[in-house]
Structure 1
Amino acid sequence: MSVVTNPLVKIDVVIGENTRQILSETTLTLPVPAIKIRDIVVRVRDLDTQVIENKVIVQGVLHKQIFFVGTDNVVRHIAEDVPFSTFLDIPGALPGMDVQVHPTIEAVIPILLNPTTLLQKIVLEIFIKVTEKRQINIALGDGPLVRVNEVVGEGTVQTLEETVVTLDCPAIKVDAIDATVKDITFELIDDKVIIQGIIHKQIFYICEDNIEHHQAEDVPFSVFVDIPGATAGMDVQVHPTVEFVAFTLETPTTLRQKVVLEIFVKVTERVQLQVALGTGPLVKVEAVRGENTQQFLSETIVTLPVPAIKVREIDAKVENITTEILEDKVIIQGTIHKQIYFIDTNNVEREFTELVPFSTFIDVPGAEEGFNVEVVARIEFVGFNLLNEVELEQKVVVELFVKVTETVQILVEEVQVGPYVPPYIPSNNSVTP
């Protein structure tokens, strides 16, 4: 995709951030007398946030593992969960915005009041950042190289789905029809997005017995949206909305329904841009710190379960990738998953699976612990040689591309190229894979 002068990007604009420390003080009765507290390991789990106007409510659990020495000099363990709740002021925050929470255990102070009573003081620091996804045109320049989602295009389509359903009992009145969209799938082809899904309807009606009955109906639909410039591999966001539901009770058991569905589609592409620094807005982006590509050869000999006269093909893919960042290096581990198709001595085709673990490292100057890593693995070549009826030699060339980024906040230069368009607010039916 060609880079335009002032690209339109979908980006996280920083609304505000704040930090708060809270003190959790609890008293615990130990199951047996203790002479010493060896250690208390604390971690935060079950974090939950709720954004209200100008505030963020944070709830979670302090999970503590307490190790203590009993009077018999045996180290024992006991666990304790302590819930906590607090709020942080974030001017400008509104419901629906995105929240990032970073809790840190600042201090753990155990005090053994008596052999069975343990007083614990935990200092917890909570950092909150609130962002909002917006579309803005930014100026390019000699600032940092960042990874952003450039908007390729967006479009809206409406579809009318008309169906006739036979009710389970004669109705005197239809009370309501609730319609939602589920099971959304899409396929991206050149200049188009094909969307398929299900309109799930819940029909509430009164039968001749004056009892309200319920009946469900699922209606599949398929539409497409023209998005010039879209190609396979780009990112797609789909936001369906039920615009209108109408119904007519033609006979006591025959119900005609019309549902108008509006589907908004946005296509974006992950790109690298060197942006110009400016006066705002303040955005959260991934600054590129380094990247590198490396190939390695995996050679294995596998014993087939039955004698073979021919190997038809070997399909290979890389899965279960994990990474670890060191200074100026990225360690990569994963598995080469191979499916071997061969012909046995009875001329029957068989399949055999082999999993080959690998570990390697790639030099990425500028990489530091705590940075983000993106790995793209590609099978370059698969070669094989049937040494004898049961021994198969294989050679697989794997290419690994590594990109290291750091999450930063920068002030960019926004370029006004048209009237301001507020960000699309997705409904409850929104789907963003």
Structure 2
Amino acid sequence: MAGTERLKVNLVQGENRVQTVVRGQIEVPQAKPEIEKILSKDAKARTRNVSIVPDKVIVDGTLSLQVTYVAFKPDQSVHSMEGDVNFTAFVDVEGAMPGMDAVVELTVEDVSLTPSKRDPLKFDVAAVLSTFVKVTELDELEILTSVPEGNEALETQDIAVEHMIGDKAAKQVIVSDQFEVPEEKPDVEKVLASKAEVEITGTKVLAGKVIVDGEVRLQILYSAMDPRQTVHDLHHTIKFSDFVEVPEAQPGMNVQVRAEVEDADVQPVIDPKLTADAVIKLTVFVSETRTLKDVPTKLKNEEGFEKRRLKVDREIGTGVTQVVLRETAAVPEEKPDIAKVIETMVDKTEVTETNILKGKVLIRGYTDVEVVYVSTKPAQDVHALHQRLNFRTFVPVAGAEPDMDVKVSVEPEFVSVDQLGADVHTEAVLRVKATVTEITQPNVYVPTGAAPTAAPTPCPPTDYVVKAGDTLSKIAAAHGVSVQAILDINPQITNPDVIDVGQVIKIPCPAKG
């Protein structure tokens, strides 16, 4: 009698990379001076929504720009501004179907700003984005693991796959904080805009659940509480820890967590405090690596079996290294000299190049350090400057080969700035992690006539009466569903930001898993 093993695997249905040209316009805020000269521009793209239709993935995203410039005014002071441009990318992926899962990676390859001919406060944006999409589907297979009696294996192979534990598990969490405006910043009269990004900083698998640690990074644009009502921005980070239930999870298993911000709101409460609420969607995949020895990949007699090609991701290994950066540079000419350093922080870290060699990964990138200081001017104004530190390092990963894939994360562990006369000496320590994977496509045999998996029992939606203070994001988080899922079955809601107290809306069943 032939031996089999039932595996639940994420099969790669297809992947593709396309270039997308993004065009739009950003505007200098009214309280900011006009631009004489752009000193630097940084751009980052993030996804807002991903939809899968037959053989195609539609990615709605936002291109966020941060521009540092010399003002068109007598003192030629240095200012910064931000702007967003929304875009939609269409990626052809053969085999993609609604209900499948998609992983999207966006990379800004080039961006340019051109002054508008009609309005000196507006700039035309043109950017080139690289959009990579991988579409997967969870499938359960009964795989032949030994040669049937009376048959013969012409070829065998050792196969390592990630066996999924349960289905993907999703949960919405609300991350909240109340914090004060930094001393060097003016008080807030009105929040003009806020953006939030989330990053997972740690995971731990326990019996029946996964602990997730992360950070929500807020960027807030506001008008100041002074007669000029100048526009300022500030950053704030909220750390959080939560858990997602995965009943079959056990310590030692592998875990992947995706996190996305579904909604973020920042409002002034009691001067000089702000309150922030962010709704985060966590999606957790728990798996264990199973290695099957001498699996028949070619039988002499294939009667009673169906040959299947498994296209799956397999993790080769992970490596970690530390990078110590030291650099001394003069204060930029357009900035006043430093009397006292108030605060230092890592503003941005970017990986610009990765190259896989045998047994290691070469990585290039940079980190931007922001220095807030009191100037030597008579009024002792508070200013900020940025210093860019480039780095190049390698991370050992046993088994890595040039044709494999790699994912790199860089976390700042320490940053310090010292004043050396008119110069600034910066030291930073970065933790660089590289995970190498490859797509394997082994042939396996599946017995024909296997019993199909039972279809899930439909779950009817329930009614909910809107209460004072409710928003769709808070209602969705409380019921374990997404805002989009609520909108899909409530066509009467034409504006997701407007719901009325006493209004009855339908709540779909939460995703199981």
**TM-score over 0.5 for the alignment?**
no
Length-normalised TM-score, structure 2: 0.37
Length-normalised TM-score, structure 1: 0.43
Larger radius of gyration: 1
